[in-house]
Structure 1
Amino acid sequence: MEIRNKLTNTLIVISLLGLLVIIFMPTSFPMQYSFSGEISRWGNRFEFLGYWMIPVFCGFITKCYIAYQRNKYKISPDEHLRNEKPLLTFAIIFMTIFDSILIFVVTQGFILLSTKATVSTFPFINVAIGLAGILIIVVGNYFPVLDYNSMIGFKNTWSIANEKSWELTHRWIGRVFLIFGFSLILYAVLSQANTFNTIIFFILVGSCVIVSYIISYIAYQKTK
């Protein structure tokens, strides 16, 4: 738990340090890229002020919510830890991915400006798909150990119907997430960056969600 708190604080500091980079940016900076790597939008450098603050707010709100839950519900320290560990872990994952994307965008922007190029060869789409795959794997790894009706989980009418249904749902969905997560990473590594990759990504993620709901219903039917 202490390590998670330190990681959250570190990511908040990294985001705040990112604000300093704005000082060295030109007024107009590359903000978005097309699927072919061409700069599709230029924006004011101060747009990054809002972007860098998103991970900061995420970490701050997570810590405030945990403090609120501790004060509102008088439960044992062990129960606190079981609820707080997944929440902090997901916050850390989100902040890490968001910071990584910002670092990539800023670094690539400086490279293009210094070389006076207009096309980036960096495979943004594939990297994003790979990061999404890692996120899904981490979430799937945590699902089987989540307590019944905890703050985080795959919640619907079937999964929260009873404790056994919750346990089976998250155990099975955890495996599904691992399979889909590794599939995304493998696809990101082996494919060329193009528009078609985005379509495949949404198809895989949508399929993962649909399969998860089906699994939740089956688990409920087995335990009701």
Structure 2
Amino acid sequence: MQLRSEKILCLILFAVMAGFAVWGRFNLPDVPVAVHFGPDGQPNGYQPRDMAMVLMPAITFATLISCLWILPRLLPKSASLERSQTVYGIIVLAVTALLVVCFAGIVMTAAGNAPDTLKIVLVGTGLLFILIGNYMPKMRRNWVMGIRTPWTLADERVWDKTHRFAGPLFMLSGLVTTGGALLAPVDWRVAILMFATLSVCCASYIYSWAAARRLR
């Protein structure tokens, strides 16, 4: 699995994140930086400036190396991502973009240009769900992404039926999450995300079980 274009684009996105980190290190005051926000959108977790500017980029870089270079080489052929490499690359790229946006929000908040960081994160998450739902019917059976239940992993027919069913649901959950972030009262935003996510996951799990019983 090559993923050359995705690797290049992810590294460019990481370079953008590193640029924010370097700017923050030399321009932000040496005081604790808000890195976590509660359901009301208010900061409730802080880190020292230098740690805040290093930790998230370091985790992002380690994740990229693991997902794009190490993991595809470690998987056995039975769990290979080869048949879904385009979808896999797009999802890794989208997740990386979301992490960059989240980190940019943290730096901007620390700089006093306070955006609604929670809203940004929730809108980005909703758009990610929409993207995943769009590509879900194209995912072939693997051990890394998708609806991985005992029944989907045991039978490719169940996998395909479940992912055709779950794709539109994920897109709907993304629309609900995005709409909630933009329109709902602040205290409801995270609850809407949790409800949308749990609903689609439970429905997909139950559907995979039912599909397996019908195909016996």
Q: TM-score, normalised by structure 2?
A: 0.84
- Residue in structure 2 matched with residue 43 of structure 1 by the alignment: 47
Q: What is the DSSP-based 3-state SS (H/G/I as helix, E as strand, rest coil) of the residue aligned with 1:159?
A: helix
- Residue in structure 2 matched with residue 166 of structure 1 by the alignment: 159
Gaps of 5+ in 2: none
In structure 2, which of residues 169, 172, 176 is the aligned counterpart of residue 183 of structure 1?
A: 176
In structure 2, which of residues 182, 190, 198 is the aligned counterpart of residue 198 of structure 1?
A: 190
8 Å CA contact 1:143, 1:174 repeated in 2: yes
Is the deviation greater in 98-107 or in 19-28? Answer: 19-28
8 Å CA contact 1:83, 1:151 repeated in 2: no
Distance 1:172 1:129 in 2: 24
- Residue in structure 1 matched with residue 208 of structure 2 by the alignment: 216
- Residue in structure 2 matched with residue 6 of structure 1 by the alignment: 8
- Residue in structure 2 matched with residue 27 of structure 1 by the alignment: 30
Equivalence map 1:70-89=2 (5 Å): 81-89=82-90
Equivalence map 1:120-135=2 (5 Å): 120=114, 122-135=115-128
Return closer, same or farther for 1:130/1:82 CA change in 2, 3 Å cut-off: same
Is the deviation greater in 14-23 or in 157-166? Answer: 14-23
Q: What is the DSSP-based 3-state SS (H/G/I as helix, E as strand, rest coil) of the residue aligned with 2:153?
A: coil
Q: TM-score, normalised by structure 1?
A: 0.81
Residues 1:56 and 2:49 aligned together: no
- Residue in structure 2 matched with residue 76 of structure 1 by the alignment: none
How far does residue 142 in structure 1 lie from its aligned partner after superposition? 1.6
Return closer, same or farther for 1:34/1:107 CA change in 2, 3 Å cut-off: same
8 Å CA contact 2:31, 2:48 repeated in 1: yes
- Flag the structure with larger Rg: 1
Return closer, same or farther for 1:82/1:139 CA change in 2, 3 Å cut-off: same
Return closer, same or farther for 1:186/1:161 CA change in 2, 3 Å cut-off: same
8 Å CA contact 1:158, 1:217 repeated in 2: yes
Q: What is the DSSP-based 3-state SS (H/G/I as helix, E as strand, rest coil) of the residue aligned with 1:153?
A: coil
Distance 1:38 1:218 in 2: 43
Residues 1:157 and 2:150 aligned together: yes
Distance 1:132 1:174 in 2: 16
Q: What is the DSSP-based 3-state SS (H/G/I as helix, E as strand, rest coil) of the residue aligned with 2:166?
A: helix
What is the RMSD computed on CA atoms of the aligned residues? 2.6
Return closer, same or farther for 1:178/1:25 CA change in 2, 3 Å cut-off: same
Q: What is the DSSP-based 3-state SS (H/G/I as helix, E as strand, rest coil) of the residue aligned with 1:149?
A: coil
